[in-house]
Amino acid sequence: MSELLLRQAQISDSRKIFDLRNHLQVRRYSHNINKIDFDAHQDWFKKVLSAKSKHILIAQRKEDFIGMVRFDLIDNAYLLSWSISPQFQGCGFGKSMLSIASKTMVILKQKLNKIILPQLELQNILE
């Protein structure tokens, strides 16, 4: 398996993340299970990219878009959430994504003195 890389999200990632967020298989594990309108997504994505309290990391292997990891600062803790492209689910990428993302965010955590809390939907735990 090729090396998994995580990088900061850019505006050019908007369509990939939109498609990921709207995929039925991904939505069934999401906090918001409703389909998202593209214009609403674009507004949200631009706000997230410019916010100091939110961070999105893109997971990729070579040119493959594997998924995303998101950190949202709420009070004194970062809420951690992630999504994996359906074609890569069950391949072990989730563990690698979270490991790399956590190490990346440790630097930010040390700078801001915040804790990181994973967001898990009950269905994710049961399956």
Poorest-pLDDT segment among 62-71, 72-81, 89-98: 72-81
The phi, psi pair for 99, rounded to 5°, reads -65, -50
Tokens 């950190």 identify what position?
71
For residues 9 and 110, give the distance between their C-alpha atoms in angstroms, rounded to a whole number. Answer: 21
Q: What is the pLDDT of residue 51?
A: 92
User: Three-state SS string across 39-57, please?
Assistant: HHHHHHHHHHHHCCCEEEE
- Tokens for 51, please give them: 């916010």
Q: Delineate the domains of the chain, giving CATH numbers in brackets.
A: 5-126 (3.40.630.30)
Q: Residue 111 pLDDT more than 60?
A: no
Helices 14-22 and 38-50 meet at what angle, rounded to 10? 120
Residue of 76, 119, 118, 84 lying closest to 6 (CA atoms): 84
